[in-house]
Amino acid sequence: MSLVVQKYGGSSLSDAESIKRVARRIVDARKAGHDVCVVVSAMGDTTDDLLDLANEVSPLPPAREMDMLLTAGERISMALVAMAIANLGSTVRSFTGSQAGVITDDTHGKARIIDVTPGRITSAIAEGHIVIVAGFQGVSQGSKEITTLGRGGSDTTAVALAAALDADVCEIYTDVDGVYTADPRIVPAARQIGHISHEEMLELAASGAKILHLRCVEYARRFDMPIHVRSSFSHQEGTWVGGSNPEGDSVEDPIIGGVAHDRSEAKITVVGVPDSPGKASEIFQAVADAQINIDMIVQNVSATETGLTDISFTLPSTDGQTAIQALTRLQEGVGFTQLQYDDQIGKVSLVGAGMRTHPGVSATFFRALAQAGINIEMISTSEIRISVVTRGDQLDEAVRAVHSAFGLDSSQGEAVVYGGTGR
Amino acid sequence: MSLVVQKYGGSSLSDAESIKRVARRIVDARKAGHDVCVVVSAMGDTTDDLLDLANEVSPLPPAREMDMLLTAGERISMALVAMAIANLGSTVRSFTGSQAGVITDDTHGKARIIDVTPGRITSAIAEGHIVIVAGFQGVSQGSKEITTLGRGGSDTTAVALAAALDADVCEIYTDVDGVYTADPRIVPAARQIGHISHEEMLELAASGAKILHLRCVEYARRFDMPIHVRSSFSHQEGTWVGGSNPEGDSVEDPIIGGVAHDRSEAKITVVGVPDSPGKASEIFQAVADAQINIDMIVQNVSATETGLTDISFTLPSTDGQTAIQALTRLQEGVGFTQLQYDDQIGKVSLVGAGMRTHPGVSATFFRALAQAGINIEMISTSEIRISVVTRGDQLDEAVRAVHSAFGLDSSQGEAVVYGGTGR
């Protein structure tokens, strides 16, 4: 008998009817012979409603109490899902994150899972129950305080539980059919990906694909846990992330996984930095001290006659103001000329494990952008990814150009230069 | 430094504004030099909303999951109250019933508190925090399951915590000013009681007074914990239940505490029961087996020529149908003639510790009813209480007649036959 971990997000649990629909799905999985452990998010708008209430009573609520408050959301949905399952005649037990053994550090609001001790869950499963677990929450190791995991927390809970329970698969149910070769709202010809590696998914998530959170994919890769991303509104196969390709591995595996884009970043350029050792270090230490994650960095070739250089980097635009303040305090010490801030940028990324062995990929990529008349402002690459920064208003066109150049458009079929992208 | 336990009900926590008002009250108590532990109910209609959701997904939800669901209500209100207190600059920690050490039996939906181990609360208080505790909930001793305490559960939590923490007083905040000599909606001349004993309050609660639940008063009497019932909407003194009378004990203490009424009962008469040993026992065993609590019992004098007797008893009218079914199954075995069911009854009760030593009380009571033209159908007495059953549509008049006959009307002042009722 196999063990399946399923996770349902808030959009699949928006009201009583959708809860009953999810319950039927869960019971179907049980009746198909699987042991089932289900992780749920809070219903629809519950979390937003609770945040509104919090803001009404306090402009800056303590993080500990915010976690107490928000964890009520998943508690409500897990109990309702359990009730709906019981009403279908199956035996079921719900557990909070704390009861499920999700042990975290003590960083309220964005705790990290440091251990999973699912003793109560394995007992309940052994007794024949379907198990429902509240996602997004845990209990801190030392002080036994209730914590929440922050963005992507419910997906991460599901993968962590799947790993701890040695499940066969972690199914992430959402409101789309799976992972696509590009965002279908921008590229109508985008195709659903049948199978993608953990590494490629990690690069896609890091490059702006929103379907799975980076943390969840990182966790899945670390524990080699296959994820099946699929729609809770249909019974079609979704996208398999990691694990063996259900279509069989073959030399014909696609070179390119997909195209991701990101509109949430801004670019800061520090102009006229003295070209002497230690200056870049001072600049990036100041940004790191402000708890800001930097994405791409470009240092221009020094203009030797002046002894000055320009350093550009991208960062989440929500951190823009903080970064500018931190750098302004540094201006006299470092001796740079000025700061330029630009949030009208976009980033397009091409991800594919096949890049490692196919040297023509970057050439095709840059040619596609050039032919579409798109100027490249910054470039960054990894072993399986190429990303470039463009003007924000050219981003959609850039995504479409790249998607088409690599034969990913559905009208292009499988027989294209670099191969298809799965099923 | 004294320790005060306060309890705020849902009507005092209906929205963000009232939560902020309650927070100011709590901080005021802290600033007045008290250590403060606060028990909160769920906000306004939260519990009803959660029950509605539960009914939408399942007509008969498992009790365990219902407890998981409902406990989210107090979790939300405790976190919001804590946030509002923090916003006023005080340091605060909220705790669930489980974290607060409220240990119960494992009867989901109406668990009984069997122990309180408030280690985390005493630590938090010792560290200078105001403590907020979710009422109505606990954790079962053996299986560590989340439980709820059923009706009156938050008041009972407050009294139990006050006893465990050895508090000086348990303040129960509500939306009325205190305990009155009768329900002011029926007796406009009813007066607020300044001080009443635990025993009298127990009889009033058992006789239909709704301001404090029986369980909470029982708990307070057992641990000799004074309760101060007062309004969260004013700063007036409310009613002290138990403890020493703040006005000083005196021989002039009132004989009569107050008049309670109850419209929630029904009467069943078993007609034509063979007058032989064991018949009454069979009847009441059947009712007890159906988990029904009986209030008053009257057996008529046997009509010796027939060898038959009638037995009447009162019970909550919500249990009426169950009782009739249980008794119908018994008809052949016991051999009674028929069952009569009557839910058009009312009960009026006079409660007063002074009855013990003042023999004229019952005579005055019956005369008052007779003069008002009210027929008495059943009578039951305890050492400090007289209760009678009347027609339901005569109940209001009966309450007013008794209230007036014992000099409780506010216009009658203190100088009445049997003395006043308080300060």
Convert B67-79 into a string of H (helix), E (strand) and C (coil).
HHHHHHHHHHHHH
Residue B187 domain-assigned?
Answer: no
Higher pLDDT: A382 or A350? It is: A350
Q: Which residues of B touch A19 (CB under 8 A)?
A: 57
CB contact under 8 A, A76 and B72: yes
- B99 contacts in A (CB within 8 Å)? 144
CB of A1 within 8 Å of a chain B CB? The answer is no
Residue A415's pLDDT band (cuts 50, 70, 90): very low
Residue A203 lies in a domain: no
pLDDT score for B304: 62
Helix axes B16-31, A46-57, angle to 10 degrees: 50
> In this structure, what CATH number is given to the domain that contains residue B260?
3.30.2130.10
Q: Which pLDDT tens digit goes with each residue over A81-106? A: 999 999 999 999 999 999 999 999 99
Q: Between residues 125 and 164 of chain A, which touch chain B (CB distance below 8 Å)?
A: 144
Under the banding of pLDDT at 50, 70 and 90, the label for residue A107 is very high
Structural domain range at position A32: 3-175
- Domain endpoint, select from B111, B143, B175: B175
The total of structural domains in chain B comes to 2
Both tokens of A70, joined, read 């928000």
B396/B266 same-domain check: yes
Residues B142 and B252 in one domain: no
- Cα–Cα distance for residue pair A322/A263, rounded to 1 Å: 19
**Residue A57 to residue B93, Cβ atoms within 8 A:** no
Identify the residue whose tokens are 């914990």.
B225
Q: Which residues pair with A269 in a beta bridge?
A: A312, A340
Nearest to B5 by CA among B26, B21, B31: B26
Residues A156 and A288 in one domain: no
Contacts of B16 (CB under 8 A, 6+ apart): A53, A56, A57, B80
Q: Which residues of B314-353 are buried (b: 16+ CB within 10 A; e: fewer)?
A: bbbbebbeebeebbeebeeebebeeeeebeebbbbbbbbb
CB atoms within 10 A of CB B24: 12
Q: Distance (Å, rounded) from C-alpha B126 to C-alpha A199? A: 51
Judge residue B271's burial from the number of C-beta atoms within 10 Å of its C-beta, 0-12 exposed, 13-18 middle, 19 or more buried. Answer: middle
Share of chain A above pLDDT 90, in %: 77
Q: Does residue A24 sit within a domain?
A: yes
- Single-letter amino acid, residue A9: G
Chain B hits for A86, Cβ within 8 Å: 58, 61-62, 65
| Chosen domain end from A129, A144, A175 | A175
Residues of B in contact with A16 (CB under 8 A): 53, 56-57
- Please give the pLDDT value at position B360: 83
- The CA distances from residue A193 to A155, A239, A253, in Å, are 19, 6, 12
Across the beta sheet with A92-95, the strand order is A92-95, A130-134, A35-40, A3-8, A169-174, A227-231, A239-241, A195-196
Task: Provide the 10 A C-beta neighbour count for residue A63.
Answer: 14
B180 is in an annotated binding site: yes
- For residue A194, being part of any structural domain is answered with no
Residues B265 and B411 in one domain: yes
Distance between CA A33 and CA B295 in Å, rounded?
52
Tens-digit pLDDT profile for residues B181-214? 999 999 999 999 999 999 999 999 989 898 999 9
Neighbours of B416 (CB within 10 A): 17
Residues A153, A268, single domain; the answer is no
pLDDT value, residue A307:
81
Residues B376 and B350: their CA atoms lie apart, in Å, by 14
| Judgement on whether residues A168 and A289 belong to the same structural domain of the protein | no
Is residue A200 assigned to a domain? no
pLDDT value, residue A357: 79
Q: What is the 3-state secondary structure (H, E, C) of chain A?
A: CCEEEEEECHHHCCCHHHHHHHHHHHHHHHHCCCEEEEEECCCCCHHHHHHHHHHHHCCCCCHHHHHHHHHHHHHHHHHHHHHHHHHCCCCEEEECCCCCCEEECCCCCCCCEEEECCHHHHHHHHCCCEEEEECCEEEECCCCCEEECCCCHHHHHHHHHHHHCCCCEEEEEECCCCCECCCCCCCCCCCECCEECHHHHHHHHHCCCCCCCHHHHHHHHHCCCCEEEEECCCCCCCEEECCCCCCCCCCCCCCCCEEEEECCEEEEEEEEEECCCCHHHHHHHHHHHCCCCCCCEEECCCECCCCEEEEEEEEEHHHHHHHHHHHHCCHHHHCCCEEEEECCEEEEEEECHHHHHCCCHHHHHHHHHHHCCCCCCEEEEECCEEEEEEEHHHHHHHHHHHHHHCCCCHHHCCCCCCCCCCC
Q: Which of the listed residues A175, A205, A221 is the one where a domain comes to its end?
A: A175
Q: Are A300 and A252 in contact (CB under 8 A)?
A: no
The confidence score (pLDDT) of residue A277 equals 81
One domain for residues B279 and B136: no
The span from the CA of B130 to the CA of A257, in Å, is 55
Q: Which of A297, A39, A348, A253 is nearest to A167 (CA)?
A: A39
What is the rounded distance in angstroms from the CA atom of residue B77 to the CA atom of residue A16?
Answer: 23
Q: When comparing pLDDT for A192 and B383, which is higher?
A: A192
* B9 annotated ligand-binding residue: yes
Q: Per-residue pLDDT averaged across A169-192, rounded?
A: 94
A9 known member of a binding site: yes
Query: Stretch A148-167: mean pLDDT, rounded?
Result: 95
Contact B299, B308 (CB under 8 A): no
Average pLDDT over chain A reads 91
Angstrom distance (rounded) from CA A149 to CA B184 = 52
Inspect the interface and report whether the beta carbons of B50 and A76 lie closer than 8 Å. yes
**CATH number where A136 lies:** 3.40.1160.10
Same domain, B164 and B53: yes
Q: What is the ipTM of this complex?
A: 0.82
The pLDDT of residue A304 is 62
Residues 47-86 of B with CB under 8 A from A: 50, 53-54, 56-62, 64-66, 68-69, 71-73, 75-76, 78-80, 82-84, 86
pLDDT at A342: 95
The residue of chain B with its CA nearest to that of A72 is B72
Q: Let me know if residue B222 belongs to a domain.
A: no
Tell me the residues of chain A between 208 and 267 that have a Cβ less than 8 Å away from chain B. none
How far apart CA A296 and CA A262 sit, in angstroms, is 13
- Ranges under pLDDT 70 in chain B: 1, 246-254, 301-304, 412-423
pLDDT digits (tens, 9 = 90+) for A227-269: 999 999 999 999 999 987 766 555 455 678 899 999 999 999 9
Beta strands in B232-323 (DSSP E): 239-241, 258-262, 265-274, 297-299, 308-316
pLDDT of A309-354, one tens digit each? Answer: 889 999 999 999 999 999 999 999 999 999 999 999 999 999 998 8
Answer whether 0.90 is exceeded by the pTM.
Answer: no
For residues A11 and A143, state if they share a domain.
Answer: yes
Residues A256 and A370 in one domain: yes
Q: Are residues A279 and A159 in the same domain?
A: no
What are phi and psi for residue A139, nearest 5 degrees?
-135, 140
Helix (H) or strand (E) holding B317: none
In B, which residues are within 8 Å of A106 by CB distance? none
Q: Are residues B126 and B274 in the same domain?
A: no
Q: Shortest CA distance to B76 belongs to which of A14, A70, A137, A108?
A: A70
Residues 6+ apart with CB under 8 A from B294: B284, B287, B288, B313, B314, B315
Residue in A92, A85, A89, A94 with CA at minimum distance from that of residue A21: A85
User: Is residue A191 a part of any domain in this protein?
Assistant: no
Q: What does the alpha-carbon distance between residue A81 and residue A37 come to, in Å, rounded to a whole number?
A: 12
**pLDDT tens-digit profile of A2-41?**
999 999 999 999 999 999 999 999 999 999 999 999 999 9
In a domain, A202, yes or no: no
Picking from A23, A80, A87, the nearest residue to B69 by CB comes out as A80
